[in-house]
Structure 1
Amino acid sequence: MNLKQLQHFVTLAESGNVHKASARLNISQPALSKSIRVLEEDLDIVLFDRSPRGVRLTPVGQWLLSRSSSLLGDIQQLHTEIDLIKRQANGSVRIAAGTVLCSSLMPECLARLREVAANVDIVVESGYWDDHKHMLLNSEIDFFVADSRELEDIIEFDIAQLPSEPICVYVRNGHNLLKKRKLTTADLQKYPFSGLTKIPKELERALKTYPELPPSRWSASAVSSNDFGLLRASAALTDVLFFSPPSAVKDQVRRKELVRLNIALPSALQTHFAIVALKDRKLSTSAELMKHTIMECAIQQFQASETLKQ
């Protein structure tokens, strides 16, 4: 089995017709039929049911299609990024990122980019999405990465959503809540919160539907700051409750400075990060490479988090 055979298989599966598939692939019908037949012989399975009307995937063919499509997508992404690496010169990238991302995803992205494009100068501004949108509209940055919940109605923006993560509750190692066998959200009200000075209005509205986590307590935190790293560090030293996506505290959890509480929070409490650029502005090669790197790292981070849950 090789990539060309997989491409032939996916194209035929999507078109359902040898004639249409061969035209899309720009090869003859006999050549396509032979490629599929060799693939089936190599795997020792039947991928298609044939009929005069065309072809239809067998159950195992449907399974292979689900795997092959993502694999070919990854290969295309790889070709795109290699091309960007080859074409990038001594460029510069100026972006902005939310304070949570600057303490979690962005360091990994910067390290990855330095591995393949060490001659690119990078400037990262930290802050909130409402400041970043003005910076983008004023051409002060190439793009920004932040919570997109209040940006999706801005028609000038091109928004590429990153994988969502749940928001979980973390406490310092040795916290009294860790001694309880069965926690409820009511138990959380006995302790002060630690939180950012600003959260999206949509998230505030979602919190209003949960009396156990009233927005008034959220905004009246014992510790509040626009610096997520500061809040994370203070949570490891005090009894405050710290709300965070798992990827942003993985190092602290690994070092056992913070422990995740075994409690289910509303599904509405999740991240909504995205890469936000202007639709009518073409990114430089270096900025495009940075964008691809952020997306790649975010997907890998999400996959690693999902693996830990299994």
Structure 2
Amino acid sequence: MLNLNQLQHFRFVAETGNFAAAARKAHITQPALSNSIRILEQRMKVQLFDRSERPIRLTPAGRNVLNRIDLLLHVARNVEKEVSYLSQGLAGELRIGMTSVSSASFGGIILGKWLAKNHRMRVDVTVADTLVLMELLRAEKMDLIIGDARDLPADLSGIDMLPITSQEGHAYCRAGHPVLALPVISFHDLLPYRFAGSHFPKAVLEHVAQLHNLDTPALIELAIESDNISLLRDATMNSDLILLTTRGCVRNALNANLLVELPVELQTPGNWYAVTLKNAVLHPAIPSLKKAIREASAEA
């Protein structure tokens, strides 16, 4: 395999036509540089310089090599910079897991602001429920996840948790929905229209049923359950379904008057945490991402 230092020494000699001048550019002694060129010639099995003339001239083989090494040295410098960026957490890829609601509510905002300051980073995001994300994290297939506090494990000894601001759950319907014609709207009025929502923990539906004196959580019939918030939102805008989610997930539809927030209490705060493994070797970019998460939480 060719030695990049030797190729650089060759380039210096080709530029200067003089071993002494090339040695000064390379910050090594002239004998060391001459030896470097000699080893390179032996390895390539060609003579690169005609040493019988002054200044030293390239042989035809040497000219051919010179035409090729500029690109090679350019690629090598870029690889060296990339490795340096990676070691500083300024380049590479992070594998992030988010729940459907956290990704739609604030995940994109966090990653957008973070990537604006980390131009060489890329992120692969998996959207799933917290239990699935925790399995992937423990298998070290995720660098960081944002999980629902209600589904995080009771034993927290092996993980680090960074709290993220909570968001209340609300009920939404399309503009022009028949229920909006009622003078007073209760949760019971919503039941005939059925619901759309993400895969809620069992405790959430039990809480809503108890809050509104329903005989059983089964009365809260979910016509669509999905981790795709865009699908849930669009289905609600094109039907009489009632969407159960956070305001952050539908902010644009609310601002455009495509969805309407219904005046019913759910009292289902979503509390999320950014979670990493304690004993894993973390990507050096994780601290800056956690800082971005803290800043986004403070602004929320």
Deviation at residue 289 of structure 1 after TM alignment = 1.5
Question: TM-score, normalization: structure 1?
Answer: 0.63
1:282/1:292 CA distance change after superposition, 3 Å: farther
The answer on whether the counterparts of 2:164 and 2:297 sit within 8 Å (CA) in structure 1 is yes
Instruction: Give the alignment partner of residue 168 of structure 1, picking from 167, 170, 178.
Output: 170
Amino acid at match of 2:275: V
Deviation at residue 104 of structure 1 after TM alignment = 2.7
Residues 1-310 of structure 1: pairs in structure 2 closer than 5 A: 87-155=88-156, 156-196=158-198, 198-210=199-211, 211-212=213-214, 214-218=216-220, 220-265=221-266, 267=267, 269-281=268-280, 283-300=282-299, 302=300
Question: TM-score, normalization: structure 2?
Answer: 0.65
Q: Could you tell me which residue of structure 2 aligns to residue 55 of structure 1?
A: none
The answer on whether the counterparts of 1:92 and 1:286 sit within 8 Å (CA) in structure 2 is no
Q: Could you tell me which residue of structure 1 aligns to residue 65 of structure 2?
A: none
Amino acid at match of 1:284: H
Comparing 231-240 and 102-111, the one that deviates more: 102-111
Q: Which has the larger Rg? A: 2
Instruction: Give unmatched runs, 5+ long, in structure 2.
Output: 1-86
CA deviations over 1:229-258 (Å, ceiling 9, x no partner): 211111111111111111111111001111
Identity, % of aligned pairs?
A: 21
**Equivalent-residue separation in structure 2 for 1:276 and 1:110 (angstroms):** 16
**Equivalent-residue separation in structure 1 for 2:174 and 2:135 (angstroms):** 37
Amino acid at match of 1:181: P
1:235/1:153 CA distance change after superposition, 3 Å: same
CA deviations over 1:124-177 (Å, ceiling 9, x no partner): 111111111111111111110021212141322222221111111110011122
Secondary structure at the residue paired with 2:294? Answer: helix
**Equivalent-residue separation in structure 2 for 1:200 and 1:222 (angstroms):** 16
Q: Which runs of 4+ in 1 moved over 4 A?
A: none
Secondary structure at the residue paired with 1:222? Answer: strand
CA RMSD of the aligned region, Å?
Answer: 2.4
